[in-house]
Chains A and B, each alone.
Chain A
Amino acid sequence: EDQVTQSPEALRLQEGESSSLNCSYTVSGLRGLFWYRQDPGKGPEFLFTLYSAGEEKEKERLKATLTKKESFLHITAPKPEDSATYLCAVQEGGGNFNKFYFGSGTKLNVKP
């Protein structure tokens, strides 16, 4: 069973068209939820960590939010350079604290 599910798989936006990406998770005892950006042929690049429901983090045009079962990555007025795959990962609490589960990602394409 997948612990992390991301939707949509792919998203095409016009420059300036705001939208949200979803990450739902089923791990018990969430230690942390992470958002990464991955460009083609590169390693994931850290964006945000969220630890508890209600928490929000912002960076430029990106804002991440967390509830008890899901997280959203809101993209406001995106630009073509925001095109990338956005990965969500969760870290489980307890004995498996150093194990991270990744979702399949949302591939974002922003057209000028």
Chain B
Amino acid sequence: EPEVTQTPSHQVTQMGQEVILRCVPISNHLYFYWYRQILGQKVEFLVSFYNNEISEKSEIFDDQFSVERPDGSNFTLKIRSTKLEDSAMYFCASTGHGANVLTFGAGSRLTVL
């Protein structure tokens, strides 16, 4: 069964460092998303991406965040200068035609020290 693959599964970084989280969405999907989940809290929307550009972003997705689809298969989330409050589980998701059912990856746990 096709799946969304995320790397790394866990990353520990120092505050102020740049982090890149990587995702390989399902190959024939068209819409790509990043969500985050702080421990014990709800899944929060960060950004959606379609046709090589951001289609929606939340208030959380400020200038410290950026997304890219550099090579037609990978979808990356970059955090330029990490803060302690960026510690969370980051989920990549994708949807196909109809843009309805989100298929999630297993997540990347980011710990900022």
Contact = CB atoms under 8 A, between A and B. Distances in A.
Contacts of B31: 98
Given A87-B43, A98-B55, A43 B50 contact: no
B106 A49 contact: no
Please tell me the size bucket of the interface on A.
20 to 34
B42 A105 contact: yes
A57 B103 CA distance: 19
Contact of A43 (B45, B48, B107): B107
Interface of B is mostly: strand
A58 B44 CA distance: 27
A46 B105 CA distance: 11
A97 to B, nearest CB: 6
Interface string A85-97: 0010101000011
Contacts of A91: 100
A91 B100 CA distance: 8
Interface string B89-107: 1010101000111111111
10 nearest CB pairs, A to B: A43-B104, A102-B43, A104-B42, A98-B48, A44-B104, A43-B106, A43-B107, A98-B99, A43-B91, A99-B56
30 contacts: A34-B100, A34-B102, A41-B89, A41-B107, A42-B106, A42-B107, A43-B4, A43-B93, A43-B105, A44-B43, A44-B91, A44-B104, A46-B103, A49-B101, A96-B56, A97-B99, A98-B48, A98-B55, A98-B56, A98-B95, A98-B99, A99-B45, A99-B56, A100-B45, A100-B102, A102-B35, A102-B44, A102-B45, A104-B41, A104-B42
